Every structure is written in structure tokens, then in C-alpha cells.
Chain A
């Protein structure tokens, strides 16, 4: 479990917001929303992997079979 994961998620977020504003300025709002959606889905995939690992740990730790 490493800390750079938080920085990765945060950097993706910042990148997305910048990309969104750039695309808005370029007049292509719909692409902006699509890229934001794709970014959120990617980050969500990472976090879901983390959540499943956490729940497995908790299950074995607290004997919650």
C-alpha cells in the first residue's frame, strides 16, 4: 500500500480539470465532459481495486466469513 497512489489520483484530477477548461475554451464542451468521464472511470477502477483489497483484509482479520 503506497502513498504515491494518492498523488496519482490527485494529479489525474488536476489534469482532467485543466483539460476540461482547455476544451471548453476551444469550444468543444462535449469532448471536455467525455474526457472527465473517462478520467473518473479510470480513477474509480483503481479505487475499487483498493476497496476490494481492503475488504478482503478486513474479512480475514475479523473472521467475518
Chain B
């Protein structure tokens, strides 16, 4: 390369260097993409293919079998539990997120730390804690009996109740975090203005505060509901085999029956439901708002 020929050659060299650098920077994302693509996504494509393969080529039999009553019952349980846990996490999460958002910064930081503590605690530790608390002769039953509230121990685990409590405990922080993020950004002057204009505290809350907190609420609902749909560990432990979730059906088809056709069809349906919900809500309120609210 000759330097003496002046500006245009220099500019050309600069352009080449710039393009090369951009190319280099873009290539930084490749190793991670390769890892995720090869280890996580490619096998899912394979499962997709297996879900439409029978002994004699293409078939939809595996999907047709999902209409069996036993599968439909699993689907119903999964949805019931997911909806119940989502509703309960709103009922418990909204008031707490509201309180934290109104608290002084120091107190708010401390309370958020307490909300985050379970997230950082191992999932199995928390399931174990609930198993210990809820078992027949466990802490909850013995306290209730000592206080004379109940005569005989309640059946609190290895059923729907225990699974709901355990899942609620896991999911609640995922409701509180986006709620808190969106409530904190609400300008307090709005509430002051509402009060000045004669709104009662209750009315100001429902007509001003709640609508402004909706992005966070939606984000929380989606995160919690989608996580619930595919949840495996807590229902498997606290349900004790009596609460049958979609994910457990998948696991059983693989490990007990080695029935990959059914397992992958179940998996594809679960994935389609998950992505479908995310897509629909993303269209409805804008995906950036969900991610941003997180």
C-alpha cells in the first residue's frame, strides 16, 4: 500500500479496516451461538422431526394420541395449577411490591434483598424445606395441633395443596421483581395530583396507580405462567406422583417407556404453547416492555 498517493487511497484503506473490524466484532457472538445452537436448539429440532416420524415415515399419530383422556387430564392439571399459582402470586406479590416501592430507599433495598434471597437459594433446598414443613408430622401440622386449630394432621403434601404452596414459593419473586421495577418508576406526583383533584386514596390507587403498574404486572404474569407450564422439579417432589404435570409426562415417556415419539410430541406442544403465549402477549403490549420491565 502506498501512502503518498493521498486521501482517496487512505480512505479506502480506512474503509477496509473498518469493515474488517465490524466483521470481527460481529463474530464475537459466534462461539456462544454455536454452543446454544448445537447443544440446545439442534436437538430440539431433532425432537420435532421425531414427533412426526412413525415406523413407516411421516405420521401425525403421536399428536393424535395426545387427545387421549389421560393426556388431556395432565393438560388440565397443568393449566389449573399454573393459573392458580399465577393468581396467588399476584394476590401476594402485588401488595408487597407496592409496599416496597413506597418504602424509603434503605428499607426498600433491605426488603428486596429478602425477596431475592429465595431466588439465590437452591431450588431443591426450598423444596426440601417445604417437605419438612408440610409432612404429616411436620412443623406446620404440629403447630396447628398444638394451638388446637385442628385435631388430626392435615394432608398438606404429596397432593395439589403442597404442590401449589411449593410452586408459589418459587414463583413469587418472579412476580415481585417486574412489579417492583414498574411501580418504582411511577411518578409520585400523579398520586398527589389525583389527591388534589379530590380522589379518595382508594380511588387514586385504582384509577391512577394500578393502570400505571400494568406493564410490570403483565410481565410478571407471563414469566410466572410460562415458567409454571414447564415446571418439573417442585411438582415431582411435592406432588408425590399424585399431581401430574405436562413436564412429568414427558419425563416418564422418556425414562420409563423410551417412547420418544410421544415424548417429543408432548414437548413440541409445550414449546408451541410457551412461544405462542409469549408471542401473543408480545404483540399485545410490546415485547420490549416485558423485557424492559424485568
Q: Do chains A and B interact in one complex?
A: no
- A residues with a Cβ closer than 8 A to B are none
B→A interface (CB under 8 Å)? none
